[in-house]
Structure 1
Amino acid sequence: MAVTLEQAKNYLKVDEDITDDDELISSLISAASDYVEKTTGKRADGSPLCELCVKQLVTHWYENRAVYSSKPGAINVLPHTVTALLTHIAQCEAYPEADKT
């Protein structure tokens, strides 16, 4: 996993000594890494852009955990930054192809 729990908590601005959501954040990191790989067909190889995309996804999912939001589309629509990064990673030859297994 390219993004560590510590890095994600720092990005989320969650204090290290607050551990209530560590399991949730860890699962979001895993899910986001898998999402990037499956969506782009490229391996999340620890590049800065892949890591940023994972952190952005984790942040979006962490902050939008509710089933309902008063802001229309806030839960279901990914931020433009995430979609732009996913498109770049998918189209750029610099990122290695994901394993097909």
Structure 2
Amino acid sequence: MYEQLNELKQYLRVDTDLTEDDNLILSLADTAIAYIEQSTGKKYVKDNIFDLTIKQLVAHWYENRKIMADGNYKNNGSELPYAATLLIKHIALSGAYEVKT
């Protein structure tokens, strides 16, 4: 389980004293780790690149919780942010990360 809730809330600009979404935010972080590991084949490690990728995915999913698209493809949340996509590619190609077995 991802344990940096306050860092995530700061990145999301959610007040730390607001707790109603805490479980959702942590769940999104755990999902982001699983998504990155499955997309890259690399094992999660706590470092700045992996953590920024988690934060970007969590922010994207947190802000785009609609089930249905609104007809505007660029604003419907179905496409990952370009920066997150680049970071995921970097993790996949980098020899600095252990292959997940």
| TM-score (structure 1 length as normaliser) | 0.90
Aligned residue identity for 1:54: I
Q: 1:86 Cα shift?
A: 0.5
Which runs of 5 or more residues in structure 1 are unaligned? none
Query: SS at the partner of 2:67?
Result: coil
- Aligned-residue identity in percent: 41
Q: 1:68 Cα shift?
A: 3.2
Q: 1:69 Cα shift?
A: 4.5
Counterpart contact for 2:91–2:97, Cα < 8 Å: yes
Provide runs of 4+ in structure 1 moved above 2 Å.
68-71
Tell me the distance in 2 between the aligned counterparts of 1:14 and 1:89. Answer: 28
Alignment deviations for residues 39-86 of structure 1 (CA, whole Å, 9 cap, x no partner): 111112011000000000000000000123544243110010011000
Query: SS at the partner of 2:61?
Result: helix
| Root mean square deviation, CA, Å | 1.4
How many residue pairs are counted as aligned between the two chains?
A: 99
Tell me the distance in 2 between the aligned counterparts of 1:94 and 1:22. Answer: 31
Which runs of 5 or more residues in structure 2 are unaligned? none
2:26 counterpart residue number? 26
Matches within 5 A, 1:1-101: 1=1, 4-70=4-70, 71-73=72-74, 74-98=76-100, 100=101
Query: SS at the partner of 1:36?
Result: helix
Counterpart contact for 2:33–2:54, Cα < 8 Å: yes
